[in-house]
Structure 1
């Protein structure tokens, strides 16, 4: 029989083990997120299918449609019947959407290709698109590749960042061709429920004062339905009798009044911002002070004090930035007026951080997440843009707690999902996505707070791949990974303060290396581009409202491919120390940024394409006879500099490190033909197809010796290689479950032992 002494020891040991397991469970990082599998709604597979283009037909009275377009700046919902992939949804709400892109299109009388937002349940309670109540249709205005936003989301998704679903959509209006858009899942209730299992937390979309002008995207969608008097579809009613919303109807096609700007004026037109040509009473947006006001062309002029004597309308080097030096180091030597690679040292990263928006964080109102005391009013850019109606002032304190601890970095993981944030910024840095948190604009991101822990969520990547404030192609390719902002690190504490912690910086570098090795070098990136091109190229060719020609699209895709390889080369060199990581490096590139699309859209909208993104004269080779922009691009080289890392030997298009004269489009087609075979081998019939494409026997021999990547498997491998996969982390799920069950089992055993022996007599 067991002695009382030994029995007590046994029970004590079992209890200690059980409690220890329980404490381990409690001590697991709070940022490991959910512990259960979240069932995905139907729309994830039925609507957002990477292998198909969504077919959407908008049915609306012609007069009502044109009236909505003519008053696009009002962003008011109008009713329509919308057919999606053959299924018709009646009385669906649709409106134009956007911020700066919407304003630019309103002022452009050559196109009505607006982005749209659709609400399926605005007029019909409970109506959804296979579980999705809202859908965004983006017009690809500033993207000649049509792929920037799509590829960005795929990269973020592969890193385990909660990411909106997206797919291409072919739009027709009353059966007539309209164009190829990108359909995107909004970051709202359904997105949060899909990624986090519930909507118990609080969601914010920060917008600093410098970019909040004219942005009604949040305000319109947060109104109660009772606030609307929508234009319902009534076949028996003349469209001219349709009622409008309670806001003032304006049919002048002029920009409307943004919130808190000249609110005393009820004309509904955008008023002159403070101190901006206030003497003009026309109500139309005026040119900012000192910005070539005498020019009436409507194109963006030279910012104040930036070589205003130059009448070329091209962006010059700011007057306070090495003005006394007129040598070729400070100005481009091609006499075009464009800024060269050698931008002044005091211009952050060589980027245009202070050229757009409200200045260096001066009008942030909390969107930069800089700690400014515990007064809630100092963070209006966050709290005025809460998405959920259930969010109240009590919830604000959780965001304030995060910002305060971000400032001190004390116990930061109890307030911030650090791992998720680092993944987000690794992708953002690779993409040189400056139209985001990391510029003085401090926008195009969401904050989601749940149980006191805050995550950052991605949004709006049409200007990724250096489409905004990037300067030259060389600056973009060499954008520094450890100073990944366009203004100053102190104004961007969400990334700057994390990088000051060695552990976090090392993890951030690991995610950057994952992108280089598992997204670029293994061929996933190129295969994804090839697959996407195969899916959409015919739609692009026939796009009725396109901002770019099909030839421009093909040129843009070629540059996009080169950008990925050159950017990976630069990041690899920064990681191994052969290139600087806090300032602009010297990796050479043949990328032509403007060809890929820039802010302002196609057809030189707003004169943006005349700025600084033409090919660099001194960045390609030492042989000046080599052009940086030709009609036919060879496959991108992965070893573009003496300081570059080793070539990516298995990348399609690189042909095992040997140069190929094939156009990248032909190479993409060749890859698709090979991958169409059952096992990827080159049979006689496939060889004939490759020869018909223009490949030589040598090309085919090289291809046959390569293991061509499979995009889906590579993406899955990339995900599996990363330990923490965001909200749906099955690895942490299993660990937590095992520990929990073990603890329960041990406690049960201990209780049974006590119950079994308490009735017995023990030997003393």
Structure 2
């Protein structure tokens, strides 16, 4: 009987030992599988990014975008451009064919201005690959904007600004020059810009589940000043994601306006880079300008980043004078807490000045910027010359290119003096002033075109050549107290702009301004990626405020302890099995 019990115990121990060993191997296999999966995912993302960079948004060549659409539909779309009607089309994007693509006009002030023209129907367009098929995309990209280059005789202000933003390390959408064809006829030479969509967020943040907002000129709150703790009060911050993630935006606004721990809710370094970008390119059609618009806020694990957007008015396109780098706002500095609060911290101001200095000594330095402008000009000049719907003559383009170089040299020289302390970098808190002069069309007399129709209180330059081929505003504007242009081609300071008419003051406008909207309030199908996955930590490494990596890294310590316990138990069982075997054999002898 005793011998039988010993045999039974031996069998049980052997079985337990085998199970433990299998479990240990399974744990190791699972861990390896997870690690391999993450490596595979990272490799796949990198591969997709490379494909997008070469096939969709190359920087060294112009690609063809061919739209095939019913002629009556296309004519109706142009005849009713303000309605932004969506039509069905087929699209060949650099040789990649897609059917059932949504196409519509897009824009805000520029759209209304072209609508009011008698001799142009050169509308910016939006391609929505997922309009009818939620799973359809162009290498992960759901929407692409085709920008018509309104008010830019040089054709390259937006291209160069996005390139600078990318070099500064800001999250930047894909962009490239394209020839747009409609039914096999050349429609125009445009700039393609990726929509802020899932692919953009995945590429820049490694996720797309965060809350996303867009600052718009309509409504209240796009200046990021504190109103109250109700998200509905901030109608100027249009929610573009499906989820608000527990109204974390309110927490950020509260801390920004009423607290001091800014890094808790803001990626401070990235925010400073965003502010610097606006100053370096004299882009007042942004958060720092009178309209307080054209930026996104993306929340990644509780921390917000400011995303750059819409730079056709960069390099002084709105006619602003040289900006005070520490007080660059149109209107009181205190009314832009994102600037006022961060620059009030000595550490952050020093960081901000270093960011600016890196750009003025790098990409924007006289020699480097001149060389890059000439490279881009050589790449696009033939396309500009053959553009059948251009707002400008080819001669105006040729004149605008060197003026763009001059404008940058003037701005950089002024900024360098401010950094050196030889001229003031701040004032009495009332801001840098400026207005929306210089944004008009004409560029030297090709035609009389309305300048940003529908705006009031505009400061208007009288020098037609002031801003890279820009003319004085035509009808549709109320040019109160219009100053003359300064000798360096920049407009004198004037009143900040008022919001344009005809805008919906709700947080979710029916017709998306500039088309920067996730159609239907979110992404089709999974919308903004659904709930946060388990184990997700911070976004990209190196973010201010102690942001960590994401994915397996945050869960790694638990996995290591579990493996150690499994190995320990296995060793104990093996030891017990050895004792039983030894004891059993002794009895048999």
Asked whether the two chains share a fold, i.e. TM above 0.5, the reply is yes
CA drift of 1:97 comes to 0.2
Report the equivalent of 1:481. Answer: 325
Tell me how far apart the structure 2 counterparts of residues 426 and 180 of structure 1 sit (CA, whole Å). 30
Task: Tell whether the 8 Å contact from 1:143 to 1:601 is kept in structure 2 after alignment.
Answer: no
Does residue 367 of the first structure (1) align with residue 222 of the second (2)? yes
Tell me how far apart the structure 2 counterparts of residues 202 and 741 of structure 1 sit (CA, whole Å). 26
CA drift of 1:469 comes to 5.0
Report the equivalent of 1:102. Answer: 111
2:347 pairs, out of 484, 503, 508, with 503
CA drift of 1:127 comes to 2.2
Tell me how far apart the structure 1 counterparts of residues 151 and 187 of structure 2 sit (CA, whole Å). 17
Tell me how far apart the structure 2 counterparts of residues 207 and 539 of structure 1 sit (CA, whole Å). 33
CA drift of 1:485 comes to 0.9
Tell me how far apart the structure 2 counterparts of residues 568 and 530 of structure 1 sit (CA, whole Å). 18
Tell me how far apart the structure 1 counterparts of residues 388 and 425 of structure 2 sit (CA, whole Å). 44
Tell me how far apart the structure 1 counterparts of residues 85 and 465 of structure 2 sit (CA, whole Å). 44
Q: Which runs of 5+ in 1 are unaligned?
A: 1-35, 210-363, 585-592, 618-626, 630-725, 760-764
1:460 pairs, out of 310, 320, 326, with 310
Report the equivalent of 2:17. Answer: none
Report the equivalent of 1:403. Answer: 253
Tell me how far apart the structure 2 counterparts of residues 87 and 45 of structure 1 sit (CA, whole Å). 13
Tell me how far apart the structure 1 counterparts of residues 265 and 549 of structure 2 sit (CA, whole Å). 24
What is the CA deviation profile of residues 657-679 of structure 1, one whole-angstrom value per residue up to 9, with x for unaligned ones? Answer: xxxxxxxxxxxxxxxxxxxxxxx
What is the CA deviation profile of residues 394-440 of structure 1, one whole-angstrom value per residue up to 9, with x for unaligned ones? Answer: x3621011111001342211111111100111111111110111122
Tell me how far apart the structure 2 counterparts of residues 93 and 737 of structure 1 sit (CA, whole Å). 38
Task: Tell whether the 8 Å contact from 1:463 to 1:599 is kept in structure 2 after alignment.
Answer: no
Tell me how far apart the structure 1 counterparts of residues 277 and 215 of structure 2 sit (CA, whole Å). 20
Change (3 A) 1:513 1:748: farther
What is the CA deviation profile of residues 188-237 of structure 1, one whole-angstrom value per residue up to 9, with x for unaligned ones? Answer: 2221111111111011112232xxxxxxxxxxxxxxxxxxxxxxxxxxxx
Task: Tell whether the 8 Å contact from 2:366 to 2:409 is kept in structure 1 after alignment.
Answer: no
CA drift of 1:740 comes to 11
Report the equivalent of 1:611. Answer: 460
Report the equivalent of 2:379. Answer: 535
CA drift of 1:613 comes to 5.3
Report the equivalent of 1:53. Answer: 62
Matches within 5 A, 1:60-139: 60-139=69-148
Task: Tell whether the 8 Å contact from 2:286 to 2:295 is kept in structure 1 after alignment.
Answer: yes
CA drift of 1:378 comes to 1.9
- SS state at 1:91 partner: strand
- SS state at 2:405 partner: helix
Does residue 386 of the first structure (1) align with residue 386 of the second (2)? no
Does residue 43 of the first structure (1) align with residue 57 of the second (2)? no
Does residue 148 of the first structure (1) align with residue 157 of the second (2)? yes
Change (3 A) 1:728 1:89: farther
Does residue 196 of the first structure (1) align with residue 205 of the second (2)? yes
Tell me how far apart the structure 1 counterparts of residues 211 and 553 of structure 2 sit (CA, whole Å). 30
Tell me how far apart the structure 1 counterparts of residues 419 and 272 of structure 2 sit (CA, whole Å). 16
Tell me how far apart the structure 2 counterparts of residues 417 and 730 of structure 1 sit (CA, whole Å). 6
Does residue 553 of the first structure (1) align with residue 562 of the second (2)? no
Change (3 A) 1:613 1:742: farther
Q: TM-score, normalising length from structure 2?
A: 0.68
Task: Tell whether the 8 Å contact from 2:391 to 2:442 is kept in structure 1 after alignment.
Answer: yes
Task: Tell whether the 8 Å contact from 2:257 to 2:337 is kept in structure 1 after alignment.
Answer: yes
Tell me how far apart the structure 2 counterparts of residues 402 and 556 of structure 1 sit (CA, whole Å). 42
Change (3 A) 1:730 1:425: closer
- SS state at 1:568 partner: helix
- SS state at 1:605 partner: coil
Does residue 544 of the first structure (1) align with residue 396 of the second (2)? no
Q: TM-score, normalising length from structure 1?
A: 0.53
Tell me how far apart the structure 2 counterparts of residues 387 and 736 of structure 1 sit (CA, whole Å). 24
Report the equivalent of 1:187. Answer: 196
Tell me how far apart the structure 2 counterparts of residues 555 and 469 of structure 1 sit (CA, whole Å). 18
Report the equivalent of 1:324. Answer: none
- SS state at 1:69 partner: helix
CA drift of 1:750 comes to 13
CA drift of 1:106 comes to 1.0
Tell me how far apart the structure 1 counterparts of residues 403 and 277 of structure 2 sit (CA, whole Å). 19
Matches within 5 A, 1:248-287: none
What is the CA deviation profile of residues 67-96 of structure 1, one whole-angstrom value per residue up to 9, with x for unaligned ones? Answer: 110011100110112222233322211000
Change (3 A) 1:366 1:747: same
1:163 pairs, out of 172, 184, 191, with 172
- SS state at 1:536 partner: helix
Task: Tell whether the 8 Å contact from 1:101 to 1:600 is kept in structure 2 after alignment.
Answer: no
Tell me how far apart the structure 2 counterparts of residues 615 and 77 of structure 1 sit (CA, whole Å). 37
CA drift of 1:366 comes to 1.0
Task: Tell whether the 8 Å contact from 1:104 to 1:600 is kept in structure 2 after alignment.
Answer: no
Tell me how far apart the structure 1 counterparts of residues 247 and 543 of structure 2 sit (CA, whole Å). 31
Two-structure CA RMSD over aligned residues (Å): 3.6
Report the equivalent of 2:283. Answer: 433
CA drift of 1:376 comes to 2.5
Task: Tell whether the 8 Å contact from 1:46 to 1:130 is kept in structure 2 after alignment.
Answer: no
Q: How many residues align?
A: 444
What is the CA deviation profile of residues 34-92 of structure 1, one whole-angstrom value per residue up to 9, with x for unaligned ones? Answer: xx885344323311111111101221222221111001110011011222223332221
Matches within 5 A, 1:550-699: 550-583=394-427, 598-600=439-441, 603-606=447-450, 611-612=460-461, 614=463
Q: Which runs of 5+ in 2 are unaligned?
A: 1-41, 429-435, 453-457, 467-486, 490-538, 576-589
- SS state at 1:426 partner: helix
What is the CA deviation profile of residues 623-646 of structure 1, one whole-angstrom value per residue up to 9, with x for unaligned ones? Answer: xxxx989xxxxxxxxxxxxxxxxx
